[in-house]
Chain A
Amino acid sequence: MEILSPEEIVESFKTALGASFVNAKIYQREVAVKKNLFQSIWIYVKRDAFRQAVEHICKLQEYPHLAVISSSDLGDSVELIYHFTIYYGHHLKELSLGLCLNLPKNDLKIPTITDIIPGALFTERETQEMMGVEVVGIPDNRRLFLPEDFPEGVYPWRKDEKGPYDMLRVLPGREKK
């Protein structure tokens, strides 16, 4: 496995994905007394080439480290970011890679990556129950953190009308918001 620089990694993504590659950003900063360089890459892709992008990361390093899948509600769309870390252990050459996707709210579906990375099951289940994004082909469809009698259709991380506003606890002496 050879260690590439961030610009070379971005070029390899452009040639592998072609038209579905939207944008890329490289963020650099000097840290601490010795002014070492801390680098991270953010890559914006479209949904149809998403699985190809994850397989391309597995070509850069044989077992990349998926930390978490974070999601945020942006009004009309939901942005999902898959946080990877590659080249762990090589001094001063570690990189954080963020794979960013933008899903429109009337079509919230995304394919699963548990056949490439089996450990992504927990964080995909959490995204599914907390944000309402449907993960197509997930092996285990149960709820993870919420209790079973939590009502359907209420998603705690949303900011629109499907948020948990009815389930909030009202302190004694105050009114409901």
Chain B
Amino acid sequence: MSLKALKRALWIYHINTGSCNGCDIEILAALTPRYDVERFGMMLVGSPRHADVLVVTGPVARQMVSRLKRVYEQTPDPKVVIVVGSCGSEGGVFYESYNLVGPVDQHIPVDIYVPGCPPRPEAIIEAVTKAWVKLEKAEQKVT
């Protein structure tokens, strides 16, 4: 996999389904000048209809299930879903809780998992580059 010029800058929408905010802070730290993902043109958008990548954190609480599904349906194709943190992958520390309805992949299809509690910003950047490769292949299939 060789990184030629990025033909398309990825726009990211972030949704938090009940997490402790540790993973959200690490995602925000990846956008600051130290780890700098913004040099590729990636930015956080305010609406899922503008987004290419959906970043989901947190174990899914019971109140957030219908909202998560609606946001997934509002994002236009082709899209990539990234799950950040071990809460979304397998429940994390809350794996037996009474308010948890499954990890994220029981409700929406997921492409990339980033384990860690919280994962380092370098791991999140590697996940985003893998997402870019997947997105290019998905675009070639559509056109």
Contact = CB atoms under 8 A, between A and B. Distances in A.
A interface: dominant SS: loop
Interface stretch (B29-37, B95-103, B129-137): B95-103
Interface string B31-48: 000000000000000000
Interface stretch (A15-23, A28-36, A161-169): A161-169
Interface-central residue, B96, B97, B99, B102, by most chain A CB under 10 Å: B99
B62 interface: yes
B98 A171 contact: no
B97 A169 contact: yes
Given A147-B62, A147-B63, A164 B98 contact: yes
Chain A interface category by residue count: 10 to 19
Contacts of B61: 147
Interface residues of B, number: 12
Interface in B66-107: 91, 95-102
Contacts of B97: 168-169
A169 B63 contact: no
A169 B62 contact: no
Interface in A78-115: none
* Top 7 A-B pairs, shortest CB-CB distance: A167-B98, A164-B98, A147-B62, A147-B63, A169-B100, A168-B96, A169-B96
Interface of B: 61-63, 91, 95-102
Given A147-B99, A169-B97, 4 more contacts: A164-B98, A167-B98, A167-B99, A169-B91
24 contacts: A146-B99, A147-B61, A147-B62, A147-B63, A147-B99, A149-B62, A150-B62, A156-B98, A164-B98, A167-B98, A167-B99, A168-B96, A168-B97, A168-B98, A169-B91, A169-B95, A169-B96, A169-B97, A169-B98, A169-B100, A169-B101, A169-B102, A171-B95, A171-B96
